[in-house]
Amino acid sequence: DAGVTQSPTHLIKTRGQQVTLRCSPKSGHDTVSWYQQALGQGPQFIFQYYEEEERQRGNFPDRFSGHQFPNYSSELNVNALLLGDSALYLCASRSLGGSSYNEQFFGPGTRLTVL
């Protein structure tokens, strides 16, 4: 049973550039969330996608956008990168149905470094 997968593993960008991160959810899951984790901090919620629509959003600017595809995979796009965007970006998936619908499972993350 494949878990949540993310690509790429690491990424280095310069200020002002744009970046796209990718996530494939765990088999059987239909909801994908994205989190940003700065060094030494807990993950911060960016947004969540279900049925190809953004359903809930955290306190992140419009530079952060996303997309969910019909196969439930998702992308996170960040425009006009700032030094402060350097972080581990985590994708989490879950299923809205079933007895364990609250449980979210995380991928290994993408380490983004902005120079």
Chain residues that interact with another protein, rule: CB under 8 A: 4, 6, 31, 33, 35, 40-45, 48, 50, 55-56, 58, 88, 90, 92, 96, 100-109, 111
Rounded least distance, CB 13 to another protein, Å: 19
Q: HSE of 83 in the Cβ direction (CA atoms, 13 Å)?
A: 1
Rounded least distance, CB 21 to another protein, Å: 13
Nearer to another protein, 12 or 80 (CB): 12
Rounded least distance, CB 16 to another protein, Å: 27
Nearer to another protein, 1 or 15 (CB): 1
